[in-house]
């Protein structure tokens, strides 16, 4: 089956998108249908040739106002002119003269034409009730209970609210879109001695491209000529420029801030870093959080229940009070207007998508709102050591000479002679201590014991280089190797396996959030415990195989949301098993993308606590929106039943609250706006 993605317009709320999605997924000719309200996109898989009209026909039967288009540019119509004409007509009709009733009716027709048509289509085609029917019934009912001007104002304020709401929603979408403008539209391709512009989609692997100052790198590649400083903030969230020179890798989305460079493409656009990021972010809301799913299901049954309650209110209030049926019907109509669920149905998915967009701008790719939601609930985080907390590249920090008969240069020469026969990473770090040529003619009877050290004779002296087991006496250093000559401890060499930059700050920030930390590694226990102690990690497990990590994860999780942070290759089984799998390192690793739920584009561990903060703040905004919307509706509902409020308050409880909650969602963008 082939996957297709199109723009979908006419979606009033997330519940509308959900209804379309559910109906299309029931069709046997379509697979994996996703209707994303936040991005106004629809994607599906099918083998049908005439699929476009086929899908649109199903959409029309479910949501008549929605339709799929293949043109990205959509003219936005806010119906301002209709609103103005209707209000002018109502104002004329307000004055008592022979034909004033005609102007009032004209105003009603202009204001209610669209809501009534939409409501009728929904009833006939999909047998569902939405807010258009509630508003139409309320306004027409107001006319017949002699509250004509209130009916007009309810309709007018509702239309105004929808106009402002649409602008606010589009503002939110535009804000998210602005966060993700990382694609270069064209490339300067070399052909002989000339250059010409081509769309990035036409770039082939091996093409020679020129990236000028102020241009973004179009696809992933390697610099073949020149060097420049690049702004990588669009991908990594880091404002500090990095210098990349000939022979080094550049990723699509990097912005050249200096002179032009030449590069050779190593990917086509669809497989480039930028394309993968955009696809992940655009599809991120497809995996919906529990809150979002509950709200969508609730909205489907909410409106019919409200309509039934309103009918009961209008019929029963006179039986239990001194109200006339005229008064009780008015209160029932007010009840209908208040009860529209738009604020809840729209603000929740938009909040999640905004959080995902902000995280992406900061170099944190979150594959779904469910993962964003779970980030705020993490109780435990397990880190792989090598490649995650450490670079895996050993380096010598210090040489402690214990026997004054030897100078440091002599010790370095002895160490390099022996380690030149070993392929161990520590051996490589010792060889870097000097650039002198190594003469190993005097090295005899060389032997290496894995996990212990190396043994050899040097000018008839027995030399041992290795762990504490090699030495005859205790040594105060943990992460170190030792030099023993003729059974005497000569020197200790302090080794650091390269704890990553910001690792200490990241772990401290995570622990401040009350999250328990663990470390898994295949390394020896001595090294593992030293790294864990330096990073203040709560529990450490060493000398583990991939299967050991998988089993130990299940023991640690214990029905609590537990994240696993790994490099996305060797740790892929645990990344897939974890509540939240977080992969670190080069985004180009397909294994990292596939296995994990969250991808950190660079190696900055501080992105993990930042992602948790974004998740917590997004959850806070959602709670604020839901609490505010529900509280206002309940208060005004109760007041309307006692006749204290009118339809004017009811409109605020509907469209006003919706507008405020949508605008409140934009706080997430402002809170985590990247400071350059």
Give the range with max mean pLDDT: 18-27, 286-295, 334-343: 18-27
Burial of residue 243 (number of CB atoms within 10 Å: 0-12, 13-18, 19+): exposed
* Dist CA 316 CA 383 (whole Å): 63
* pLDDT averaged over every residue in the chain: 82
Non-local (6+) Cβ contacts of 411 within 8 A are 399, 401, 483, 490, 491
Other Cβ atoms less than 10 A from the Cβ of 441: the count is 6
Whole-model pTM over 0.85: no
pLDDT single digits (tens) 19-40: 888 899 999 999 988 887 767 7
Burial letters 21-31, b for 16+ CB under 10 A, else e: bebbeeeeebe
Fold of 395-496: Calcium-transporting ATPase, cytoplasmic domain N (3.40.1110)
The answer to whether the beta carbons of residues 63 and 19 sit under 8 Å apart is: yes
For residues 4-32, give the mean pLDDT.
84
* pLDDT of 478 over the 60 cut: no
pLDDT single digits (tens) 124-143: 876 776 677 777 887 888 88
The owner of tokens 């609103």 is 83
For residues 581-603, give the mean pLDDT.
74
Question: Could you tell me which of 282, 320, 336 has the C-alpha nearest to residue 130?
Answer: 336
Q: What tokens were used for 569? A: 């290759």
List C-alpha distances in Å: 10 to 13, 75, 235, 275: 9, 12, 32, 27
| CATH node for 2-69 | 3.30.70.100
Question: Could you tell me which of 237, 232, 175 has the C-alpha nearest to residue 610?
Answer: 237
The answer to whether the beta carbons of residues 259 and 226 sit under 8 Å apart is: yes
User: Helix 148-179 vs helix 80-94: angle between axes, to the nearest 10 degrees?
Assistant: 160
List C-alpha distances in Å: 117 to 113, 125, 299, 614: 6, 12, 21, 42
Question: What's the alpha-carbon Rg for the chain, to the nearest Å?
Answer: 33
* pLDDT of 5 over the 90 cut: no
* Dist CA 231 CA 236 (whole Å): 9
Provide the pLDDT for residue 208. 95
List C-alpha distances in Å: 231 to 214, 217, 259, 501, 611: 10, 10, 13, 20, 22
Provide the pLDDT for residue 588. 47
pLDDT single digits (tens) 348-373: 777 888 888 888 888 888 887 888 88
Q: Mean pLDDT lowest for which of 201-210, 277-286, 590-599?
A: 277-286
Provide the pLDDT for residue 586. 60
* pLDDT of 663 over the 50 cut: yes
Q: Mean pLDDT lowest for which of 51-65, 437-451, 465-479?
A: 465-479
Query: Where residue 530 falls among pLDDT bands split at 50, 70, 90?
Result: confident
384 is known as an active-site residue: yes
* Dist CA 5 CA 232 (whole Å): 29
Comparing 58 with 526, the larger pLDDT belongs to 58
Other Cβ atoms less than 10 A from the Cβ of 655: the count is 25
* pLDDT of 676 over the 50 cut: no
Q: Mean pLDDT lowest for which of 56-65, 334-343, 535-544, 600-609?
A: 334-343
For residues 397-411, give the mean pLDDT.
89
Comparing 226 with 630, the larger pLDDT belongs to 226
Domain boundaries, the chain: 2-69, 395-496
* pLDDT of 71 over the 70 cut: no
Task: Considering the candidates 12, 231, 286, 384, report the single residue annotated as catalytic.
Answer: 384
Q: What tokens were used for 186? A: 């064209």
Q: What is the dihedral of CA 220, 225, 231, 236, to 10 degrees?
A: 30
Provide the pLDDT for residue 286. 54
* pLDDT of 329 over the 50 cut: yes
Provide the pLDDT for residue 444. 92
Q: What residues does 221 pair with on adjacent strands? A: 250, 265
Comparing 577 with 341, the larger pLDDT belongs to 577
The answer to whether the beta carbons of residues 669 and 358 sit under 8 Å apart is: yes
For residues 574-597, give the mean pLDDT.
75
The DSSP secondary-structure symbol of 438 reads P
The answer to whether the beta carbons of residues 454 and 421 sit under 8 Å apart is: yes
Q: Mean pLDDT lowest for which of 183-197, 272-286, 573-587?
A: 272-286
* pLDDT of 268 over the 70 cut: yes
* pLDDT of 294 over the 70 cut: no
The answer to whether the beta carbons of residues 564 and 553 sit under 8 Å apart is: yes
pLDDT single digits (tens) 81-121: 888 999 999 999 888 788 888 999 999 999 988 888 888 88
């Amino acid at each position: 089956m082939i996957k297709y993605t199109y723009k979908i317009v006419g979606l009033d709320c997330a519940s509308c998108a959900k209804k379309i999605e559910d109906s299309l997924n029931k069709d046997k000719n379509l697979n994996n249908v996703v209707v994303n309200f936040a991005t106004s996109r629809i994607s599906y898989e099918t083998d049908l040739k005439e699929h476009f009209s086929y899908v649109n026909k199903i959409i029309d039967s479910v949501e008549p106002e929605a339709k799929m288009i293949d043109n990205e540019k959509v003219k936005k119509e806010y119906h301002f002119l209709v609103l103005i004409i209707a209000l002018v007509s109502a104002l004329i009709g307000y004055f008592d003269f022979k034909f004033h009733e005609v102007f009032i009716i004209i105003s009603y027709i202009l204001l209610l034409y669209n809501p009534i048509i939409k409501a009728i289509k929904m009833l006939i085609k999909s047998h569902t009730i939405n807010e258009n029917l509630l508003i139409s019934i309320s306004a027409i009912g107001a006319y017949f209970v002699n509250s004509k001007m209130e009916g007009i104002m309810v309709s007018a304020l509702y239309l105004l609210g929808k106009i402002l709401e649409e602008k606010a929603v589009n503002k939110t979408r535009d804000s998210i879109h602005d966060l993700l403008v990382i694609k270069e539209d064209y490339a300067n391709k070399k052909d002989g001695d000339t250059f010409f512009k081509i769309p990035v989609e036409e770039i082939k692997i091996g093409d020679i491209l020129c990236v000028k100052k102020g241009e973004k790198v179009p696809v992933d590649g390697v610099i073949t000529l020149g060097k420049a400083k690049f702004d990588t903030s669009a991908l990594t969230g880091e404002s500090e420029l990095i210098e990349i020179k000939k022979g080094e890798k550049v990723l699509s989305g990097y912005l050249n801030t200096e002179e032009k460079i030449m590069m050779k493409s190593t990917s086509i656009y669809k497989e480039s870093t930028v394309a993968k990021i955009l696809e992940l972010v655009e599809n991120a809301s497809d995996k919906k959080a529990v809150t979002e799913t509950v709200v969508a299901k609730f909205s489907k049954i909410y409106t019919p229940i409200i309509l039934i309650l309103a009918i009961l209110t209008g019929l029963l209030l006179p039986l239990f009070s001194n109200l006339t049926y005229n008064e009780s019907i008015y209160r029932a109509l007010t009840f209908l207007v208040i009860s529209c669920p738009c604020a809840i149905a729209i603000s929740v998915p938009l909040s999640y998508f905004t959080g995902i967009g902000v995280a992406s701008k900061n170099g944190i790719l979150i594959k779904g709102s469910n993962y964003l939601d779970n980030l705020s609930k993490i109780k435990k985080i397990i880190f792989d050591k090598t490649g995650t907390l450490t670079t895996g590249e050993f380096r010598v920090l210090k040489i402690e000479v214990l026997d004054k008969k030897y100078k440091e240069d002599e010790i370095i020469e002895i160490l390099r002679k022996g380690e030149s026969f070993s392929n161990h990473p520590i051996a490589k770090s010792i060889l870097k201590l000097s650039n002198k040529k190594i003469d190993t003619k005097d090295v005899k009877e060389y032997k290496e014991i894995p996990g212990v050290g190396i043994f050899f004779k040097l000018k008839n002296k027995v030399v041992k280089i290795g762990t504490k087991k090699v030495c005859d006496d205790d040594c105060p250093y943990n992460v170190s190797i030792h030099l023993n000559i003729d059974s005497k401890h000569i020197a200790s060499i302090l080794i650091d396996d390269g704890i990553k930059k910001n690792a200490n700050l990241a772990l401290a920030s995570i622990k401040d959030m009350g999250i328990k930390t663990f470390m898994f590694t295949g390394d020896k226990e001595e090294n593992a415990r030293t790294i864990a102690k330096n990073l203040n990690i709560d529990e450490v497990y060493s000398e583990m195989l991939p299967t050991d990590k998988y089993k130990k994860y299940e023991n640690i999780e214990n029905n609590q949301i537990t994240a696993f942070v790994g490099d996305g290759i060797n740790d892929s089984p645990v990344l897939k098993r974890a509540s939240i799998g977080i992969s670190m390192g080069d985004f180009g690793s397909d294994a990292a993308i596939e296995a994990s739920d969250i991808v950190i584009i660079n190696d900055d561990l501080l992105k993990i606590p930042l992602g948790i903060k974004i998740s917590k703040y997004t959850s806070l905004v959602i709670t604020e929106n839901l609490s505010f919307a529900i509280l206002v509706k309940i208060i005004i509902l109760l007041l309307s039943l006692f006749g204290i409020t009118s339809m004017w308050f009811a409109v605020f409880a509907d469209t006003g609250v919706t507008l405020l909650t949508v605008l409140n969602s934009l706080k997430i963008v402002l809170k985590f706006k990247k400071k350059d």
